Amino acid sequence: MQFDPVARCGDPTEEKVRERRGLLKEGERAAMVATAVKLLLAIAKGAIGLLSGSLALLADALNSGVDVIVSSISWVSLRLAQRNPDEEFQYGYYKVENLAALVISGFVIYFAITLGIEGWESFGQTPEISAPEAALAVAAFSAVVCFLLMRYLNRVGKRVNSQSLMALAKDTLADVLSSSIVFLAILATIYQIPYVEGLVSIAIALLVLKVGLETARDAAFSLLDVSPSKEIEEKVRKAALEVNGVRGVTSLKLRKSGPVILGDISITTIRTLDVARAHDIADEVERKAKITVEELDGIDVHIEPCVGRNRLVAVPSVEDEGMDSKVSGSLGRARFLILVDAGEEGNSVFKAITNESRDEPLLAGLSLSKRLLEEGVTTVITKSIGEVLFHALRDGYVDIRQMKGNTVSEVIAALERGELDSLNEPTRESGEEAARKKMREMGSPPGKP
Q: Are residues 212 and 243 in the same domain?
A: no
Half-sphere exposure of 438 (CA within 13 A, CB side): 8
Mean pLDDT of the chain: 79
Q: Are residues 219 and 295 in the same domain?
A: no
Say yes or no to pLDDT of 149 above 90.
Answer: yes
- The whole-angstrom separation of Cα 257 and Cα 97 is 8
214 and 96 Cβ atoms separated by less than 8 Å: no
Does residue 70 lie in a domain region?
yes
186 and 136 Cβ atoms separated by less than 8 Å: yes
Q: Are residues 292 and 357 in the same domain?
A: no
**DSSP 3-state of 142:** helix
- Ranges of beta strands (E only) in 306-385 are 311-317, 336-343, 346-354, 379-382
163 and 98 Cβ atoms separated by less than 8 Å: yes
CATH number at residue 233: 3.30.70.1350
- The whole-angstrom separation of Cα 53 and Cα 384 is 98
314 and 337 Cβ atoms separated by less than 8 Å: yes
Residue 306: name the closest of 423, 417, 403, 398 by CA: 398
- What digits encode the pLDDT tens for the residues 219-249? 888 788 888 889 999 999 999 988 888 888 8
Contacts of 304 (CB under 8 A, 6+ apart): 5, 250, 266, 267, 268, 269
Say yes or no to pLDDT of 340 above 60.
Answer: yes
- The whole-angstrom separation of Cα 352 and Cα 315 is 10
pTM of the model: 0.57
Per-residue pLDDT band at 150 (split at 50, 70, 90): very high
DSSP β-ladder status, 260-269 and 248-257:
antiparallel
Question: How many domains would you assign to the chain?
Answer: 3
Q: Are residues 219 and 129 in the same domain?
A: yes
- The whole-angstrom separation of Cα 213 and Cα 92 is 27
Does residue 441 lie in a domain region?
no
129 and 166 Cβ atoms separated by less than 8 Å: no
Does residue 215 lie in a domain region?
yes
Say yes or no to pLDDT of 382 above 80.
Answer: yes
- The whole-angstrom separation of Cα 91 and Cα 81 is 11
Q: Which residues pair with 253 in a beta bridge?
A: 264
User: Residues in the chain, how many?
Assistant: 449
CATH number at residue 358: 3.30.420.130
- The whole-angstrom separation of Cα 300 and Cα 263 is 6
- The whole-angstrom separation of Cα 436 and Cα 420 is 32
- The whole-angstrom separation of Cα 160 and Cα 78 is 10
Does residue 191 lie in a domain region?
yes
Give mean pLDDT, residues 19-26: 77
Angle at 407 between CA 402 and CA 412, to 5 degrees: 55
Does residue 443 lie in a domain region?
no
Domain stop point among 305, 320, 342: 305
Residue 33: name the closest of 139, 183, 177, 155 by CA: 155
**DSSP 3-state of 268:** strand
Does residue 447 lie in a domain region?
no
Q: Are residues 376 and 267 in the same domain?
A: no
Q: Are residues 169 and 254 in the same domain?
A: no
105 and 167 Cβ atoms separated by less than 8 Å: yes
Residue 143: name the closest of 202, 206, 81, 185 by CA: 185
Q: Are residues 197 and 260 in the same domain?
A: no
Does residue 444 lie in a domain region?
no
Domain stop point among 305, 326, 344: 305
Domain stop point among 167, 202, 223: 223
Give mean pLDDT, residues 265-274: 80
- The whole-angstrom separation of Cα 203 and Cα 194 is 16
Q: Are residues 337 and 406 in the same domain?
A: yes
Per-residue pLDDT band at 8 (split at 50, 70, 90): very low
CATH number at residue 173: 1.20.1510.10
Helix/strand/coil percent split, the chain, to 5: 55, 15, 30
Say yes or no to pLDDT of 331 above 60.
Answer: yes
325 and 338 Cβ atoms separated by less than 8 Å: yes
Residue 49: name the closest of 112, 145, 120, 131 by CA: 131
Per-residue pLDDT band at 14 (split at 50, 70, 90): low
31 and 168 Cβ atoms separated by less than 8 Å: yes
Q: Are residues 251 and 277 in the same domain?
A: yes
Q: Are residues 84 and 200 in the same domain?
A: yes
Residue 318: name the closest of 388, 398, 405, 408 by CA: 408
Q: Which residue has the higher pLDDT, 436 or 312?
A: 312
Domain residue limits at 381: 311-435
pLDDT computed for residue 341 by the predictor = 85
- The whole-angstrom separation of Cα 90 and Cα 340 is 48
User: What Cα–Cα distance (Å) separates residue 324 from each residue in 328, 401, 424?
Assistant: 13, 20, 28
- What digits encode the pLDDT tens for the residues 404-434? 999 999 999 898 888 888 888 888 765 555 5
Does residue 9 lie in a domain region?
no
- Can you say whether the dihedral through the CA atoms of 237, 241, 242, 244 is positive or negative? positive
Residue 271: name the closest of 247, 306, 311 by CA: 306
- What digits encode the pLDDT tens for the residues 45-94? 889 878 876 666 777 776 777 777 777 777 777 777 777 777 777 777 77
Alpha-helical segments (H) within 271-351:
275-292
Q: Are residues 242 and 275 in the same domain?
A: yes
Q: Are residues 160 and 179 in the same domain?
A: yes
Alpha-helical segments (H) within 191-274:
196-223, 230-241
Say yes or no to pLDDT of 321 above 80.
Answer: yes
- The whole-angstrom separation of Cα 35 and Cα 40 is 9
